[in-house]
Structure 1
Amino acid sequence: MLEIDLIEKCKNNDRKSQMRLYDMYCDAMFCIAMRYVKSTDDAQDVMQEAFIKAFQKLNQFKAEVTFGAWLKRIVINKCLDFLKSKHQLQVSIEETNIQLADDSDWSVDEEIDVSEVKKAIETLPEKYKYVVMLYLIEGYDHEEISQILEISNSTSRTHLLRGKQKLKSLLKEKEYGKRY
């Protein structure tokens, strides 16, 4: 059965189709939730809430993007809502010294692997960490990030620029730490 047919059945409240769609996406959505909330129990709760919302709002899905991309955005928004409710996400609204970020240069030393980059991202200040994660890991652009985090486009760019600078600095420290 094609995914679009499955989605149409889900729109008609077909529970078996909803379960099949859930099974298709639950592992990937759990991994996304874990990147943000860090606790297995919390990630499962957030993921469940996201699926419930997705099934409730399924009539709003217009297939302009893939279902997975649409669902991923719901999961990320639920994660950020969860973090806000726990006061773990406090993004400063506007910064007075706005700079435009050069998003193109993300190069690091070849000896640094992806797991080291992810660990370094986790140590970034909150206002930079979530912009960097949404941009670098999730693949959102500044317009999408600004909507998700409820910040301006220029603030998103500034936080990305500063987060990238901080990230490179952290990775450089790690690199020099290895050599001495």
Structure 2
Amino acid sequence: MLQNELIEACRQNDRRAQLKLYNKYSQGMYFVALRFIQDSFEAEDAMQEAFIKAFAKLHQFNGEVTFGAWLKRIVINKCLDKLKAKKLEMVAINERTMTTVEEDDNWQVQDGIGVEEVKAEIERLPEKYKYPLMLFLIEGYDHEEIAEILEISQVSSRTLVHRGKKKLQEELKMIKNGTGY
């Protein structure tokens, strides 16, 4: 069954088609959720809730993006909702103090620092930088999408990503120089 046919069958509440679609995407979406929610049970719960929401809102899927990208956004939003519900310190941003920041496309880390070290350091960042940076660096969203997901302005997204990168570079430099953990 082609993916378009599978999605159409899901729109008709075909449970077998829904199971096929779930089986096709569940593992990947679980790992997306796990990047945001470090608890495996909570991540699985967020992923499953996202699938329930996706099946309920499938009529809104119009094919402008791939189904996987559409579903990933639902998973990320569900994770962020869960984190907000836990009252983790999502810092309110006073946008009046924000200034436009130049985008640094040549951003790099020092040689010898691996992806896992970068991910671990992102986890240690303050939440006001952590989520925008994860969405930008790991998930590949642009500032318009980050602004929409986090319900902030694009200027705030740029500023938080820029400041998050600088903070991350400082932390990685400390590890590389042996002055870190």
Same fold at TM > 0.5: yes
Q: Distance in 2 between matches of 1:84 and 1:13?
A: 31
Asked if 1 retains the 8 angstrom alpha-carbon contact of 2:98 and 2:156, the reply is: no
The one-letter amino acid paired with 1:11 is R
Letter in 1 for 2:13: N
SS at structure 2 position matched to 1:63:
coil
Q: Which amino acid aligns with 2:114?
A: D
Number of aligned pairs?
178
Match of 2:17 in 1: 17
Quote the offset at 1:89 in angstroms. 4.6
What is the aligned partner in structure 1 of residue 68 from structure 2? 68
- Residue 7 of structure 2 corresponds to residue 3 of structure 1: no
Following superposition, the deviation at residue 92 of structure 1 comes to 2.1
Judge conservation of contact 2:98–2:155 (CA < 8 Å) in 1. no
Q: Is the contact between residue 94 and residue 155 of structure 1 (CA under 8 Å) also seen in structure 2?
A: no
**How does the TM-score come out when normalised to structure 2?**
0.95
What is the TM-score of this pair, normalised by structure 1? Answer: 0.95
Gaps of at least 5 residues in structure 2 are none
Query: 1:99 matched to which residue of 2?
Result: 100
8 Å Cα contact 2:132-2:160 kept in structure 1:
yes
C-alpha distance in 2 between matches for 1:170 and 1:35: 19
The residue number in structure 1 matching 2:146 is: 145
Distance in 2, matches of 1:89 and 1:4, equals 41
Q: Which residue of 1 aligns with 2:33?
A: 33
* Percentage of pairs with the same residue: 57
For the aligned residue pairs, the C-alpha RMSD in angstroms reads 1.2
The residue identity in structure 1 corresponding to 2:146 is I
- The Cα shift of 1:109 comes to 1.3
Q: Which moved more, 1:83-92 or 1:127-136?
A: 83-92
Counterpart CA distance in 2 for 1:64 and 1:101 is: 30
Once residues 149 and 7 of structure 1 are traced to their aligned partners in structure 2, the CA distance between those partners, rounded to angstroms, is: 28
Letter in 2 for 1:37: I
1:64-91 CA-to-partner distances (Å, cap 9, x unmatched) read 0000000000000000000000011513
Structure 2 partner of 1:165: 166
Q: Is the 8 A contact 1:122 1:129 kept in 2?
A: yes
